[in-house]
Every structure is written in structure tokens, then in C-alpha cells.
Structure 1
Amino acid sequence: MLSDPYNLWRYYEPPLSADEVATAESVSDPCHLKYATSENLLKANRAAESLLNGIFLTQVECVSDITALSTNKGPERLETLARYQAPHERCYTHLSIALRAFSLEMDPKPTQASSSEALQSLIKAFLIFKLYHSTIRLFLFCGPGTPGAPGAKLEDPKMGAYHRDALDLAERILQLGSPRTAPFTPVPSTTQPLFVVAYSGTPQSNRRRAIDLLRRYPRREGLWDTMFGAALCELIMAREREILAERRRESGADAYDGNTAETREEDDDEIVELLDRQCRTRVKFENERSARVTLWTWRECMAGQPGKIRRLQW
């Protein structure tokens, strides 16, 4: 089986077609698993994880186009980005079809501890697939089941709801705990989706909740360290609060110190302008629990300004 973490998504096909899913939705028997098998869930999870990696890679490769679009200086770049995103949307459509098929059989299933370990493993694999599907939606700016549809902006309440959905799924998965033995169905980690919300989610309350989950369920998985991820995202949020305070002072509004305990709740959930959000992060590890971090906002990147250097400990 192909295992390339950046290209596996290109070859994914759902266990049945959209028309077959529509037929199954009218006659499916949730007591018998025909689609949500261990093999099908394994393939779907690997494809979803690979697609998320592929989207990250495309964002890095297209950073100049994204920068131009963010300032409305390069609307012609939209066609380029749409061309890059078209294969992602195709895979997302296939993943959405698979999700519909799996949901027919898995949504009615119990999650009590009395369930067999094999069934619990399938349920966890299904929930993680839903989590990655929800996380991918954030990057494609799609409505549920409608890849390519006009997406929500950061200040749109729908975006906050999408991030909250991902957090609800992640917390439910983490509460299931780890199996006593090797899982029947290997699954991707919850760390990457949680980091996505903590790093760039909206509103700020969702980001704080993601950071809390990263800390409450500490783990190290490959290159992912949840304690480091939580500390880094807190540092980024602190920098954004500094920028909000600077903007208030520049506009003559009631200034405040964004790092004080007196920060008002409505300010904490204020939308940070896109250009003042994080664009680049450089981390130079000094030892196992400390690093020197350089932070660039989109505005600083476009102006060619040096980033802000901060010390990070976790």
C-alpha cells in the first residue's frame, strides 16, 4: 500500500460512489458493518492525514500568491490558487462520500466501556476521520458537503462554529483514552488538528480551549510535542494581543496592556486582522525545554521587516 504522507490523498477512492451512498442511506442496516470496516477506515484516515499535509505543503509553495490576495493586490492570483486547490477539493469530495457511508453505520453505535475493544477501535477511527475531515474544511473554506463553495471569513460566526466542531470531536476522542493493547485500526494523532485551531483558529476562546486540550492530554508523537505546541500558540496569541493594543493606541482608542489580567473578555475575543496574524515562525531549539522563536505577521513579511524574537520555555 502507498504510504507517502504527502501524496497518498491523490489516489484515494471512497468505498462506494455518491449514488450508492444515497441508495444505502435509504436501506442501510446499522447493525451490520459493510462500509465502516477496519480496512476502509484505515485507508480513509491515511488519505485524510495525507490531504492535510498536502494542503500545508501547498500553502508554503503558494505563499506569495496568498500574500498578494490578502492585500487585494493580486486578484489574478486567485485563479492560480484555485488550480492548486482543485485536486484537494476532489479528494475532499471523496472523503465526504466516505464519511456519509461510514456515518450510516457508526453514528448509531454506542461508545460505552462495555463495547468490545474491536468496536471501540472502529469508533475511535471513525471519530478521528470526522476530526480530520472537519479540519480540512477549515482550509478549503467549504460548507458541509459542498467543496468549492464560497467560504466564510474569519469574522463569520460559521468559522467559529467550524473550529468548535473540531474541538468537540478532539475532546471526545481524547476522553476515550488509549487502548490497553495495540489498536485494531491504527489512526492519526489528534495533535495536528488541535494545533491548527490553537495556531490560527477563531475566536480566541476556541484557541484557548485547543491549548488547554494540548496541555491536558500531553503526548509526544513523532515530531509533535503537545506541550511545546501549546506554549508556542500561547506565545503567538500574546503577540497578537500586543498588536491589538498597538492598533488601539494608534487609533486613539482606550489603550490597554493586552497581557494583563484586566484584559476585557470582549477584547480577548476580538478578531485579529488577517495581516496581523501569524505568517511565519522560526524556532531555534536551545535545549529540550526552551527555544528562541522569531515571529512574523503577514504585514511584517510583506514589508520585509525583521520578525519579533521571543524566548519560549515549556
Structure 2
Amino acid sequence: MSDLSPARSTDTRSGSGTDSGSGDADLRDARDGDDAAFSRLVAPLRPELHAYCYQLLGSAHDADDAVQDALLRAWRGLAGFEGRGSLRSWLYTVATRTCLDIVRGRSRRALPVDLGPAGERVVLDSAAPSTEVGWLGPYPDADLAGGPASPHARYERREAVELAFVAALQHLPGNQRAVLLLFDVLGFSAAEIADLLGTSATSVNSALARARRLLAARLPATTQQRTLRLIGDDRVRKLAAGFADALERHDTDALIALLTEDVTWSMPPLPHWYAGLPAVAEFAREVPMGRCPSWRTRIVSANGQPAVACYVGPDAAAPHAAWSITVLTLRGDRIAGLISFLDAAHVTRFGLPAVLP
């Protein structure tokens, strides 16, 4: 089956077919070479395709490239789509194979906790970014559709971009990642996935069972979405705002008061990470509070979790440059994990400026 062979599913989920009047007209025009009609056809599906590619690849930048490549392949091969299944299923066929090509060409993306034990002492002068690792990145979640794709999906869309979930996915072979996402997140049937991947339903069910076992061993008992619901929106906002405020005021004690006893803090692409309140408190005093003169912050949402965009400057009156997106993992009414993704490009991806004047 070639990359552009159409899926033959009988997908009847709302919005997944092409039999509406406007959809039929755009499809006819797109086949005649009208790229604007093709853009209209795929526009409603772009956000979910992008999230899917991110889940498979662990990088929003890679997801950008994968979606662009997949849609280009689809545009060039549109004549191969005969309408026997849904346009949505066909686009997922192309996107899946595009992503699997990328996965086969490189190692999995990781977080510092995947690479070694936590540091016992704060690393300062010898700290340097690791360029030998493909690092997991944060995901702007503003465009995510709410709720599962079907009543049979096991994970909500926002659960399926949580950092713990996406990090765990990176430990699966590419085909198992795809099968699990298509079935448990997007609600495709085993028969549809088999057709999409050019394999059998038996193989799909076997891959799904293996993926679920491996994932269960790596996932926390409670998802962040459930935790956030239990905490409540008001407390979640206060925790994120409290972290941002403590950072801006260089108030180490206020920041430490927000953390659990077993808190972790990592800063990819730096390979070092810290676990436990004493080590994390020492890191906070020595680095963000001790070595960074001035902070400004913006509250955002990343991976379905509260997050803070951080800007650093030489003093309070000077311009501040984008520095990181710090994603917060909550437990109870405290912060149990912080991952500071260090790169101005992460900040601007959230629609924020590179510099605050």
C-alpha cells in the first residue's frame, strides 16, 4: 500500500466525512487543482492532525514539518482518494506514515529524567546543553478540541498531550504509538486502523495490547486532567500565579512553600535534574533566584497543564528576553514537578513576543 492509498473505512463520526454539499464541491474543485478548496477541506482537521503528530514525535516543531509534509503528499495524491472512506481517515493514513518515516530516522525524544539519576548537588559552571539528545518539547494546547473523538476513546484530547503521557509514548515503537493513539485517543476501530496501516485487525489488537501494557508501567496513577479538576480552577490559577510572582520577586521562601516534599525540577536541554525539596530548594536559590537578575512572566497553558512563560533581563528596567516555558505538574494543592523548557523558540510558539520591552 503506497503512502497515498486511500483508507477504505466507513467512518461515520461527525465532521469526518466529505458528503456535505460544501465538502463535495471543495473536493471536486481540489481535484481540479484548486489549492484554496483543498485548504478549506483540511482546515477543520489541522489542529487534531497537528496534536496527533506531536504525540507521535514529541516535538511541536517536528509536528509542524510532519503536517506540512503530510498535507503536501495528500494534495499531490488527491486523485487517489476515491471517497470510499472519510477524508479524515485518509489524511490520518498519510500523516501516520509521514510520522513513522520520521520516527524510523531518529532516536526517541526524551526528558532529563529518562537519562540518569537526579543530581545530588546543583551543577553550575559545568552545566551545558546536551546536543546529543532529541528533547521532548512543550505543546501549546489552545487549539485542542475538547473531549474524546468517540464514546469508545479511553483518553480525552487534553489528557493525551499531558507531558507524562507523551513522554511515555516515546518509549513505544512507532507503530505501537500510532495504534494506541488512533484507537484510545481518536476512536478509530481496529478494522479502520488495520486498513489505515495496511495490516490486519489481529495485528492491530496485538500491538494495542502491548502498547497498553508498556504505557501502564510508565504512567502516573492519576492524570493531570483529573488532578486539575479535583484541585479546582481557582487553586490551579493561584498556584501558577504564585510561582510566577515568587520568581519575579526573587522570593525563594514563597516559591518553596508551593512545592511538595518530593518535587522534581528539570531544564531540558540541560541534562541535570533535581528531586526532593532540599535539592530543588538549593537549585532555586542558586540559579533562578541567585544568577538571574530579573524575571518577568506570563501565565499560559501547555500540554493541558498550567505553565509559565519566563523572560530574563539584566535589571527590572531593561528589556527582558524570552527564556523558557515552565510546565507545572500539580498534586493535591502543591506543585509536584517543574519542567523548564529552555529556548526562546518555545516561548514564541505560544504566540508571545521574543522580548518584553
- TM-score, reference length from structure 2: 0.26
Structure number with higher helix proportion: 1
Highest RCO, 1 vs 2 (Cα 8 Å, sep ≥ 6) = 2
- TM-score, reference length from structure 1: 0.29
